[in-house]
């Protein structure tokens, strides 16, 4: 599991780029562990999923855990650059209503 | 002296006596005057006057004149004498000398004296004086008599009392004369002489023999003279003895003769009790001494602690302190669970407490936490101290420190486990050469379950050329390390024989299986004989191009061949003895045709000999039946093997032990190349053996991508997602014993659909409808099944083989007719 953290220049917060193709049962737990320090430290976290081609229910669960973690401390979590099958999955399980999803990182920042 | 009858005041002799003179005659004044010199005189007339004055004056003497006419004097005298108060007062009559009648009357009335008239005053005075003197003496005598009677009565009463006390005494009392002849006894003492011929009284007291504590005789004279209490033993005439306290007192008899009173107090009971007490004390001292020794022994070996009914510590010995690291003061008064460790479950402590509260002893090994936090192990026995009603009042725990032993045991166990692990690792590397992953036209699956961690079964694959592969599988008689090492030796001998035959003889061609086995037998025979072992094996060579299998069977389980054309299973005959039995056995090879779809199965007798809890053997019939079903269901080798394993497991259940179990399944299949597949290849299922690891499921996605490469990305993604969710489920619910065994995905295509079947062991799973997941994001559950149901068009649950379950996910192509697209 590889993620990359990029501080935002436009606002207080951080962008997390998921650098692998899949977020599934095989790595969801590791992703949660790696991203948790950023969720704890930042008020705004943008997760950039441009590289991700495959997400399964475990991957969704991990995302949902991130969202809950941010909501609990009144922080903001935004997802950007979802590939169409990934977006389809979010819509299938209605998670697109719960997450703030944007096409690009700029759109996400503009919504602040 | 107190009981004297009351005497009237007038009856006491006063200093001056009172004299009542009843005489009113003229001459009376003269003698009254004369009498008044000596006494107090009351002068009264006859009749009522005399009675009244008499009562008032309480005279000591009355003088009545009876010379008066008409007998008035007699009447008065009679009245006075009849008066209760005056009746005893002596009366002196004054009468005429010649009046005989008056004399008789007076004497009849009890006159004290009769004096004739004329009165001679001097005579009268003397007479009165005498009468008064006599009366005084008489009164005194009466009083004395009365006192005497009282004293006599008292004496009689006292004697009576004394006699009663004498008889009723709890001591034996014996009175003797100075010659010790018994004069008197009380009944208790009399009983002492019961065995004597003579009665107690009258005989000699020497019939009782007195001795001191040392058995020396004490003469009666000494006893009689003793002024102190003598403790002695008396032997009674019947022969029995009594312990006594004896006192002697000199007394005197009725006639003043000297007598001896012996007081004998029976102290036998007291002596007996005293003896018992002494013996009990001795006993206790003895036991205390023994206990002291035992306590010392226990204290130097064991940890001792005592708690009250509420498990509060009331005592610990020094060993307990030493081991636990606490001081006595830190432990006393604290609950025993202060030493509790986190090693045991709550139910462990619950059971313990319940046992001892019910008054039963508890015994077991328990881990406690010392003051410095280290765990120490005790082998502990807790004995409840049950006083009454079965409710323990305290608990005594005696423990042995077994920390070192535990630690040694753990080390030993660790070493054993490690040895087994190393053994298993060596075995995995040495004995089981992994089947080639890709060998054109053959699909191979294998499994081996060792019985003791280390195995005597073995197999190895040798690729001879692109179309020929041979497999050697065998079973060394016996189990464990010895069998494993022999198996490794046989494998190595097989390779050496092979190489020697190829190089050594300058052979123009590959040695045949029979040549190899014969060489193997020759090379290993003597060593196997020395080890007292033999080996059964099958060497089977598959020639894909010729479509044959050539095999040699050396005492091994017969090879099975499943014919896909007829769905029949053949058992190919065994022919030869095991390796290492005789040196010159000629091993022969046999050949059979193997067509596409045919399956060859090689297995060790550990499978067919497996027994269930009823002792029934699994047999070879189920093996053949599974092979037959595999043909019918077109099951892949790994599905077939997993089915065999699962079915065998269902049969044996928890039964452990038995022999090693090894099986190999080799299937001939259509050859296809990766680059140039024939169009009909598309119709053949792709069997994919997947490791049971969540992070190794990606190949499933890639294969689905490949299977549907002509379909849009969302189609491929949906099918892959559904398959991935299902595969994740299978991996997550893998039983521990199958973690290392792959499960199988079967990918199929028809003209209209693509499908993925995931096969794993177990009962077919059919969910009760698809649960609706929680879409609010508050919880995350039930999504897997929901995603599966929504990503594909059809979800089926099947039982493709015995002991196997599968889920089939089918998705319709959006545009029918892939031919044109391809």
pLDDT digits (tens, 9 = 90+) for B326-346: 999 999 999 988 888 888 888
- Selected for mutation to probe chain B from A57, A69, A89, A101 (highest B CB count within 10 Å) is A57
Chain A closest CA to B778's CA: distance in Å?
8
What's the pLDDT at B683?
Answer: 67
Joined together, the tokens standing for residue B632 give 């019918």
pLDDT digits (tens, 9 = 90+) for B528-555: 888 888 899 999 999 988 899 999 999 8
B211 within 8 A of B232, measured Cβ to Cβ: yes
Query: Per the domain annotation, does A75 fall within a domain?
Result: yes
The pLDDT, as a whole number, for residue B771 is: 63
Interface of B to A at Cβ within 8 Å reads 693-698, 701, 713-714, 717-718, 720-721, 724-725, 728, 731-732, 773, 775-777, 780, 783-784, 786-787, 790-791
Structure tokens at B595: 């067509």
B790 vs A contacts (CB less than 8 Å): 92
- A98 CA to chain B: closest CA distance, Å? 7
Q: Give the pLDDT confidence score for residue B769 in this predicted structure.
A: 64
Q: Average pLDDT of B736-764?
A: 86
Give the mean pLDDT of chain B.
Answer: 84
Q: Is the pLDDT of residue B452 over 70?
A: no
Q: Quick one: pLDDT at residue B646?
A: 87
Mean of the pLDDT values across residues B727-732? 89
A61 to B697: CB separation less than 8 angstroms, yes or no? no
Measure the CA–CA gap between B724 and B690, rounded to whole angstroms: 12
Mean pLDDT along residues B402-420? 84
Bridge partner residues of A3 (DSSP): A18
Q: Give the per-residue pLDDT at B479.
A: 66
Nearest to A94 among B694, B695, B775 (CB): B775
Q: Which of A27, A61, A84 sits opposite B780 (nearest CB)?
A: A61
Q: Which residue of B has its CA nearest to A84?
A: B714
Q: Give the pLDDT score at B551.
A: 93
For residue B657, pLDDT beyond 70: no
Give a yes or no: residue A7 inside a domain.
Answer: yes
| pLDDT at residue B601 in the model | 94
pLDDT in tens, B348-368: 989 998 888 888 889 999 999
Q: Among B720, B731, B787, whose Cβ lies nearest the Cβ of A93?
A: B787
What per-residue confidence (pLDDT) applies to B439? 75
Distance CA A6, CA B51 (A): 159
Q: Which of B568, B628, B571 is nearest to B603 (CA)?
A: B571
CATH level 2 (architecture), domain B9-146: 3-Layer(aba) Sandwich (3.40)
Q: What pLDDT is recorded for position B671?
A: 64
Q: Is the pLDDT of residue B810 over 60?
A: yes
User: What's the whole-number mean pLDDT along residues B631-652?
Assistant: 88
Per-residue pLDDT at B507:
54
Q: Any idea what the Cα angle at residue B219 is, between residues B216 and B220, rounded to 5°?
A: 140
pLDDT-derived band at B483 (thresholds 50, 70, 90) equals: confident
Residue B437 has pLDDT above 80, yes or no: no
ω into B118 cis (within 30 of 0): yes
Confidence band, pLDDT 50/70/90 cuts, at residue B392 = confident
Domain-located, residue A36: yes
- Estimate to the nearest angstrom the gap between the alpha carbon of B91 and the chain centroid: 109
Spatial separation of the C-alpha atoms in residues B298 and B319, rounded to whole Å: 9
Among B377, B368, B358, CA closest to B336: B368
Tell me the pLDDT band of B800, cut-offs 50, 70 and 90: confident
Does the structure show a pLDDT above 80 at B575? no
Tell me whether residues B780 and A24 touch, CB distance under 8 A: no
**DSSP character string of B376-394:** EEEEEEEEEEEEETTEEEE
Torsion of CA B487, B492, B496, B498, to 10 degrees: 60
For B234-256, the pLDDT digits (tens) are: 888 878 888 889 999 998 888 88
DSSP E strands: which ranges in B253-331? Answer: 258-266, 303-308, 313-316
Residues, chain A: 112
CA dist list (Å): B643 to A103, B506, B623, B801:
49, 46, 10, 6
Interface touch B783/A22, C-beta < 8 Å:
no
Q: Which of A25, A64, A84 minimises the CB distance to B714? A: A84
Contact B697 A67 (CB under 8 A): no
Q: Do A93 and B728 touch (CB under 8 A)?
A: no
Chain A positions touching B698 (Cβ under 8 A) are 22, 26
CB–CB of A25 and B694 under 8 A?
A: yes
Are the C-beta atoms of residues B42 and B50 closer than 8 Å to each other? no
Domain extent at residue A26: 3-103
Query: Hey, which residues does B569 pair with through a beta bridge?
Result: B562
Cβ neighbors of B373 (< 8 A, separation 6 or more) are: none
Q: Which residues in B lie closer than 8 A to residue A100 (C-beta atoms)? A: none
Residues of B in contact with A32 (CB under 8 A): none
Nearest CA in chain B to A62: B780
Q: Search chain A and give the residue with CA nearest B784.
A: A57
Q: Give B59-84 pLDDT, tens digit per residue.
A: 988 988 888 776 678 888 888 888 88
Ordered strands of the B303-308 beta sheet: B313-316, B303-308, B391-401, B375-388, B362-369
Tell me, yes or no, if A24 comes closer than 8 A to chain B by beta carbon.
Answer: yes
pLDDT tens-digit series, residues B612-639: 888 888 989 999 999 999 999 888 898 8
ipTM: 0.88
Q: Average pLDDT for residues B668-692, to the nearest whole number?
A: 69
Of A17, A64, A55, residue with least CA distance to B775: A64
Share of chain B above pLDDT 90, in %: 24
> Does a structural domain hold residue A39?
yes
Residues B668-685, mean pLDDT to the nearest whole number: 61
Is A85 in Cβ contact with B713 (below 8 Å)? yes
Q: Does A56 touch chain B (CB under 8 A)?
A: yes
pLDDT at position A48 is 94
Chain B partners within 8 Å of A85 (Cβ)? 713-714, 717-718, 721
CATH number, domain containing residue A14: 3.30.750.24
Instruction: Let me know if domain B302-401 sits in CATH 3.30.450.20.
Output: yes
What is the model's pLDDT at position B65?
A: 85
On chain A, the residues whose CB falls within 8 A of the CB of B786 are: 93
Ranges for all domains in chain B classified under CATH 3.30.565.10: 673-822
- Residue range(s) occupied by CATH 3.30.450.20 in chain B: 169-266, 302-401
- Within a domain: A108: no
B499 vs B431: which has the higher pLDDT = B499
What distance in Å separates residue A9's CA from the closest CA in chain B?
Answer: 31
Residue partners of B318: CB distance under 8 A and separation at least 6 = B299, B328
Chain B residues with CB under 8 Å of A98 CB are 776-777
- CATH superfamily membership of B169-266: PAS domain (3.30.450.20)
Whole-angstrom Cα distance, residue B678 to residue B672? 8
| B673-822 CATH fold | Heat Shock Protein 90 (3.30.565)
pLDDT per residue as tens digits for the range B2-35: 444 444 444 444 468 888 988 888 888 888 888 8
Domain count of chain A?
1
- Between B717, B728, B791, which is nearest A58 by CB? B728
In terms of pLDDT, which residue wins out, B275 or B239? Answer: B275
Report yes or no on A109 lying in a domain: no
Residue B723 pLDDT: 94
How confident is the model at residue B2, as a pLDDT? 44
Q: How do strand A3-7 and strand A14-18 relate by DSSP bridges?
A: antiparallel
Q: In the predicted model, is pLDDT for residue A61 greater than 80?
A: yes
Mention every residue, 6+ apart, whose C-beta is less than 8 A from residue B504: none
In this predicted structure, what is the pLDDT of residue B628? 93
Q: Which residues of A touch B713 (CB under 8 A)?
A: 84-85
User: Which has the closest alpha carbon to B534: B588, B481, B495, B476?
Assistant: B476
Q: Say if the Cβ atoms of A92 and B725 lie within 8 Å.
A: no
What are the residues facing B472 on neighbouring strands? B460, B539
* Residue of chain B minimizing CA distance to A53: B717
> Is position A71 within any domain?
yes
Residue B231 makes CB contacts below 8 A (sequence gap 6+) with B212, B213, B243, B244, B245, B246, B267
Local confidence band at B455 (pLDDT 50, 70, 90 cut-offs): low
Cβ neighbours around A73 below 10 Å, total: 10
Structure tokens at B10: 């007038």
Residue B816, pLDDT > 60, answer no
Least confident stretch, A102-111, B263-272, B448-457, B749-758: B448-457
Let me know: does B48 contact B76? Beta carbons within 8 Å: no
Using pLDDT thresholds of 50, 70 and 90, give the confidence band for residue B819.
Answer: very low
Strand bridging mode B686-690 / B457-465: unpaired
- Which phi and psi angles does B546 have, rounded to 5°? -80, -15
Predicted confidence (pLDDT) at residue A43 exceeds the cutoff of 50: yes
Does B388 score more than 60 pLDDT? Answer: yes
pLDDT at residue B818 is higher than 50: no
- Indicate the residue of B695, B721, B732 with minimum beta-carbon distance to A27: B695
Q: How is the beta sheet containing B568-572 ordered, strand by strand? A: B442-449, B661-668, B599-603, B559-563, B568-572
Percent of chain B beyond pLDDT 70? 89
pLDDT at B822 exceeding the cut of 50: no
Task: Give the residue range(s) of CATH 3.40.50.2300 domains in chain B.
Answer: 9-146
């Amino acid at each position: 599991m590889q993620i990359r953290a990029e501080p935002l220049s436009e606002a207080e917060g951080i962008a997390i780029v998921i650098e692998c193709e899949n977020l599934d049962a095989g790595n969801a737990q590791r992703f949660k562990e790696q991203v948790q320090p950023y969720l704890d430290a930042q008020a705004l976290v943008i997760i950039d999923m441009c590289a991700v081609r495959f997400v399964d229910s475990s991957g969704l669960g991990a995302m949902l855990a991130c969202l809950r973690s941010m909501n609990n401390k009144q922080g903001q979590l935004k997802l950007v650059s979802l590939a169409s099958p990934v977006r389809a999955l979010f819509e299938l399980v209605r998670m697109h209503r719960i997450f703030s999803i944007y096409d690009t990182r700029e759109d996400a920042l503009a919504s602040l | 002296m107190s009981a004297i009858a009351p005497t009237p005041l007038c009856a006491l002799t006063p200093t001056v006596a009172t004299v009542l003179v009843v005489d009113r005659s003229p001459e009376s004044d003269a003698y009254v005057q004369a009498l008044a010199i000596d006494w107090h005189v009351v002068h009264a007339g006859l009749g009522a006057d005399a009675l009244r004055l008499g009562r008032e004056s309480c005279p000591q003497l009355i003088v009545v004149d009876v010379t008066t006419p008409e007998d008035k004097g007699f009447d008065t005298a009679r009245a006075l004498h009849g008066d209760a108060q005056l009746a005893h007062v002596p009366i002196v009559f004054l009468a005429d000398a010649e009046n005989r009648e008056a004399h008789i009357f007076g004497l009849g009335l009890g006159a004290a004296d009769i004096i004739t008239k004329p009165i001679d005053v001097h005579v009268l005075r003397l007479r009165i004086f005498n009468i008064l003197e006599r009366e005084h003496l008489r009164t005194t005598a009466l009083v004395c008599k009365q006192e005497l009677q009282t004293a006599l009565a008292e004496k009689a009463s006292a004697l009576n009392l004394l006699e009663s006390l004498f008889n009723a005494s709890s001591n034996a009392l014996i009175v003797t004369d100075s010659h010790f002849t018994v004069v008197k006894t009380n009944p208790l003492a009399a009983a002492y002489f019961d065995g004597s011929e003579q009665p107690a009284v009258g005989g000699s007291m020497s019939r009782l023999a007195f001795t001191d504590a040392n058995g020396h005789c004490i003469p009666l004279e000494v006893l009689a003279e003793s002024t102190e209490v003598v403790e002695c033993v008396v032997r009674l005439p019947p022969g029995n003895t009594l312990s006594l306290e004896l006192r002697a007192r000199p007394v005197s008899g009725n006639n003043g003769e000297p007598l001896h009173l012996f007081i004998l107090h029976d102290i036998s009971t007291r002596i007996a009790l005293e003896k018992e007490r002494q013996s009990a004390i001795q006993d206790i001292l003895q036991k205390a001494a023994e206990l002291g020794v035992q306590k010392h022994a226990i204290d130097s070996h064991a940890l001792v602690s005592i708690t009250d009914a509420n498990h509060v510590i009331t005592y610990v010995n020094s060993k307990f302190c030493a081991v636990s690291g606490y001081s006595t003061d830190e432990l006393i008064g604290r609950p025993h669970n202060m030493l509790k460790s986190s090693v045991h479950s709550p139910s462990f402590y619950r059971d313990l407490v319940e046992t001892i509260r019910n008054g039963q002893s508890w015994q077991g090994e328990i881990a406690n936490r010392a003051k410095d936090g280290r765990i120490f192990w005790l082998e502990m026995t807790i004995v409840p101290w049950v006083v009454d009603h079965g409710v323990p009042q305290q608990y005594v725990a005696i423990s042995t420190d077994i920390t070192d032993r535990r630690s040694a045991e753990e080390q030993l166990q660790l070493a054993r486990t490690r040895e087994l692990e190393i053994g298993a690792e060596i075995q995995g590397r040495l004995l089981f050469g992994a089947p080639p992953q890709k060998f054109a036209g053959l699909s191979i699956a294998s499994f081996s379950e060792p019985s003791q961690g280390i195995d005597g079964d073995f197999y190895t694959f040798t690729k001879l050329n692109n179309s020929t592969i041979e497999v050697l599988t065998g079973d060394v008689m016996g189990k464990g390390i010895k069998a494993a090492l022999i198996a490794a030796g046989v494998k190595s001998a097989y390779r050496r024989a092979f190489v020697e035959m190829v190089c050594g003889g300058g052979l123009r061609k590959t040695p045949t299986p029979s040549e190899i086995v014969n060489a193997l037998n020759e090379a290993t025979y003597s060593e196997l004989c020395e080890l007292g072992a033999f080996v059964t094996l099958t060497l089977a060579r598959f020639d894909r191009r010729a479509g044959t299998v050539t095999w040699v069977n050396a005492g091994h389980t017969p090879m099975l061949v499943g014919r896909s054309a007829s769905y029949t299973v053949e058992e190919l005959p065994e022919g030869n003895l095991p390796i290492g039995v005789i040196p010159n056995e000629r091993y022969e090879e046999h050949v059979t045709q193997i067509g596409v779809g045919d399956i060859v199965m090689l297995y060790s007798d550990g499978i067919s000999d497996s027994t269930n809890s009823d002792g029934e053997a699994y047999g070879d019939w189920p093996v053949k039946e599974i092979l037959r079903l595999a043909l019918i269901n077109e099951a892949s080798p790994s599905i077939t093997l997993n089915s065999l394993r699962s079915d065998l497991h269902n049969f044996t259940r928890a039964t452990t032990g038995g022999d090693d179990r090894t099986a190999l399944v080799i299937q001939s299949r259509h050859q296809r190349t990766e680059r140039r597949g024939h169009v009909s290849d598309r119709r053949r299922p792709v069997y994919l053996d997947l490791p049971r690891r969540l992070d190794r499921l990606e190949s499933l996605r890639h294969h689905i991508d490949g299977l549907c490469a002509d379909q849009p990305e969302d189609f491929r993604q949906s099918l892959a997602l559904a398959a991935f969710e299902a595969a994740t489920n299978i991996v997550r619910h893998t039983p521990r014993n199958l973690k290392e065994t792959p499960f199988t995905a079967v990918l199929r295509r028809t003209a209209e659909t693509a499908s993925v079947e995931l096969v794993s062991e177990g009962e077919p799973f059919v969910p009760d409808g698809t649960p609706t997941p929680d879409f609010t994001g508050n919880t995350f559950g039930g999504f897997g099944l929901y995603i599966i149901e929504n990503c594909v068009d059809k979800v089926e649950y099947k039982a493709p083989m015995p002991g196997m379950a599968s889920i089939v996910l089918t998705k319709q192509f959006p545009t029918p007719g892939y031919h044109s697209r391809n």
